[in-house]
Chains A and B, each alone.
Chain A
Amino acid sequence: MQKKLLMLSITIAISYSNPAFSNNEYELLRQEIELLKKNYEQRIQTLEQRLKKTEEQAQQANSTAQNAAQKLEQTELTSTASNRTDNSFNPALSIILDGRYADFDNDPDAYELPGFSLGGEAGLGKEGFSIGHTELTASANIDDQFYGELTVAIHEDDNETEVEVEQAFVQTLGLGNGMTIKAGRFFSAMGYINEQHEHAWDFADAPLIYRGLFGNKLLDDGLQISYIAPTDLFFQLGTELLSGDKFPAGGNSDGIGAWTAFADLGGDIGIEHSWSLGLSHWEADDIDGRTSGGHSHGNEEHEEVPSFTGESKISALDLVYKWSPNGNPKNHNFKFQFEYFVRDEDGSITMLNSEPLETSSYDGDQSGWYAQAVYQFMPHWRTGFRYDQLDSDNTGSDSDILEEAGLDDEGHTPKRYSTMLEWLPSEYSRIRLQYNRDKSYEEADNQFFLQYTHSLGSHGTHNY
């Protein structure tokens, strides 16, 4: 409309401004203008159409965007729902990286614990730089009835890389009534720290009594049955039936070579204090040729190795107490633990590779304990102190053979004082500095460790 008016006014204006135009000329001009007008109107029409189209397209785009947003919200919802089952399909994987720098005054190869024949992984380890246990753990719920876990430890022994299956077990989830059965290879429920991975320990090395009796750790293949009573106070009873093939049992038994029984009590006192008390017993009645390191005399090939045959019983008591302000251990916390072990053995000791074969009857009576306290005095910093002590009174028909086997206490009471300082930048990393004044044998040793222990992968567990 407006355009038509414009045209008209132009025509009028032209006609007025040129009154001298002839009729012919006027007609020509009018035609031209008419053409122009048509042209113009056409162009406007197409423009209008284009505008309409664009508007429609914009509307379409808008609704598509809305649809997309809706869909996104829906997928978000479904994705949260699927979060629930993520872990049951992918085993949780975790890797522990552990390494240290160790410095000893004495020769670590000269290490001994008078009164105890060392076996398993007992010993001080390498001086200088070395990597410790590199651990790989995969675990998952297998279905609604079973949980499974595999832990493989890789470590170096005399420049040879050893891969060791530390734990490989399945356990029930669905038995009910507080019953749980575990089968496979697992850390025994003896004592308190035996069930923990070494990287979860508060010191870089095992307590002396663990070193002396178990070669650091008691693990075996078998079956564990445990029961938790339906009480407010934590009360657990359990037993393990084991192959008895591994140190400190030994020999090849066809059936059950060793067994344990354990009982645990525990609870809270108010909000800030908690405790646990455990009693456990391990027994192997038919050990046949358990070898261990004695005093190594003579050359390597013809080294005389003490071998024990007979029955062995170990009883243990453990006590743990923890405190944290308001029961919130994140920034400050305190932990005290105490374990006591006593071993009673009856049988004979034979020195393998000796000529003529040396044998003595053996009545072993060994015990030991440690107590330690660890305090997180500020966020990410912990310090701790530990004291170890062992006693033994072993007798036999030939005391020379017992001495050769390292079972004579040489009039010495093994002791050790340890202190450590830890920095934990996050839940997943730890740097530890530890000092031991080690009086395991007659010559006291000063030992320093600088150790890192880092965890990669799935979230670790906050064991009690």
Chain B
Amino acid sequence: MKTTIKVVLMNLLLSMSTMVKAEIQVLACEPEWGSLVNSLGGKQVNVYQATTNQQDPHHIQARPSLIAKARRADLLVCAGAELEAGWLPLLLRKSGNPDIQAGKPGYFMASDYVTLLDKATTLDRSYGDVHAAGNPHVHLDPERLLKVAQALSQTLIAIDPDNQENYQINLNSFTQKWLNMGQKWRKQTLSLTNKSIVVYHRSWIYLQKWLGLNEVGALEPKPGIPPTSSHLTQLLVRMKQTPADMIIYASYQDSKAAKWLSQKTGIPTVMLNISPDEGESLFDWYQQLIDRLVKEKK
């Protein structure tokens, strides 16, 4: 008799726990990872994006609203590689949430799953913002993004094994579509190969590498240090001798310096969204990125 009661109780508890367990709450540090989790998680995830593509993800504060989100998150998806070094550790410490602490399955840093470019060999801050771990903007390389997608899908399965099949299906269709689009983008961007660009900040190296663009200058004198007039004058002299094909800056970066150089040299500027807009899929975002580059190329 006692055992039957126990069994009934256990069943009741189990059914309750499955009932209570609704969507996985995800806190995504940047929009690209929010968008990726949405693609891979589908209806099983509820994603909150800590930043928009108008915000520099390095200069965010551990606001009360973000602490409240971290408190309830089952999964944290961020770029890592020190991009969020100023606020994420603080968020984690204040959250009172053991599931998303470093080392736990709910702590997912995209840059842990791919090789990083631009590892600083000299760790001296007089060189500007140096990233010892390497450049964190890995989502700009379609191949690296796919690797991250695979790892992230594994993480979703680890956190929510009940929906393994769904995650598998989502990953497969994402991979298929991403590879198809990748081929299309390759064809579309053949004319960009070996074009030279001036960037605001070294945010684009993965995109440059994938497209075969050559970076010939930066508006920032040193990474993280805003453009100075002396540096811009030097750059102008150089650009008058050997003009670049485009000047590229991100949506959250100040456009003044780029426009000034463009006016003086006639080199077109391209404003690119370094991350998707709210609700925008990675496919649409990357397509737009490529459309803008192809359109502005000389």
Bound Cα distance from A459 to B134, whole angstroms: 16
A463 cross-chain contacts in B, Cβ below 8 A: 61-62, 90
Verify A462–B82 contact, CB threshold 8 A.
Answer: no
Chain B residue, CB-CB nearest to A324: B55
The B204-244 residues at the A interface (CB cut-off 8 A) are 224-226
Verify A80–B56 contact, CB threshold 8 A.
Answer: no
B82 cross-chain contacts in A, Cβ below 8 A: 459
A266 on the B face (CB < 8 A): yes
Bound Cα distance from A84 to B116, whole angstroms: 13
A177 on the B face (CB < 8 A): yes
A230 on the B face (CB < 8 A): yes
Verify B54–A144 contact, CB threshold 8 A.
Answer: no
A451 on the B face (CB < 8 A): no
Verify B61–A464 contact, CB threshold 8 A.
Answer: yes
B283 cross-chain contacts in A, Cβ below 8 A: none
Verify B59–A328 contact, CB threshold 8 A.
Answer: yes
The A301-344 residues at the B interface (CB cut-off 8 A) are 322, 326-331
Query: What 1/0 flags go to B75-102 for Cβ under 8 Å of A?
Result: 0000001100111011011111111011
B60 on the A face (CB < 8 A): yes
Contact residue range for chain A? 35 or more
Verify B98–A460 contact, CB threshold 8 A.
Answer: no
A253 on the B face (CB < 8 A): no
Verify A228–B133 contact, CB threshold 8 A.
Answer: no
Looking at the complex, which of A267-275, A286-294, A360-368, A438-446 is the stretch in contact with chain B? A267-275
Which of the residues B68, B85, B99 comes within 8 Å of A267, measured between beta carbons?
Answer: B68
A40 on the B face (CB < 8 A): no
Q: How many residues of B contact A (CB 8 A)?
A: 53
A85 cross-chain contacts in B, Cβ below 8 A: 103
A233 cross-chain contacts in B, Cβ below 8 A: 68
B224 cross-chain contacts in A, Cβ below 8 A: 426-427
B252 cross-chain contacts in A, Cβ below 8 A: 326, 328, 330
Verify B134–A464 contact, CB threshold 8 A.
Answer: no
Bound Cα distance from A265 to B101, whole angstroms: 24
B98 cross-chain contacts in A, Cβ below 8 A: 144, 173-176
A175 cross-chain contacts in B, Cβ below 8 A: 96, 98
Verify B64–A173 contact, CB threshold 8 A.
Answer: no
Bound Cα distance from A329 to B95, whole angstroms: 22
Given A83-B81, A328-B252, A462 and B68 contact (CB-CB distance below 8 Å): no
B114 on the A face (CB < 8 A): yes
A77 on the B face (CB < 8 A): yes
Verify B86–A76 contact, CB threshold 8 A.
Answer: no
Verify A266–B101 contact, CB threshold 8 A.
Answer: no
Bound Cα distance from A271 to B55, whole angstroms: 10
Bound Cα distance from A462 to B86, whole angstroms: 5
A180 on the B face (CB < 8 A): yes
Verify A268–B63 contact, CB threshold 8 A.
Answer: yes
Verify B64–A331 contact, CB threshold 8 A.
Answer: no
A26 on the B face (CB < 8 A): no
B225 cross-chain contacts in A, Cβ below 8 A: 425-426
12 contacting pairs across A/B (C-beta < 8 A): A85-B103, A88-B102, A141-B101, A234-B67, A268-B63, A268-B65, A326-B54, A329-B59, A329-B61, A426-B125, A462-B86, A463-B90
Query: Which A residues lie at the B interface, using CB under 8 A?
Result: 73, 76-77, 80-81, 83-85, 88, 141, 144, 147, 171, 173-180, 226-235, 264-268, 271, 274, 276, 322, 326-331, 379-380, 425-428, 459-464
Q: A173-B98, A463-B61 provided; 11 other pairs, C-beta below 8 A?
A: A144-B103, A228-B71, A228-B96, A266-B63, A267-B64, A274-B64, A326-B52, A327-B51, A329-B61, A379-B254, A463-B62
Shortest Cβ-Cβ A-B pairs, 4 listed: A266-B64, A234-B64, A326-B54, A330-B59
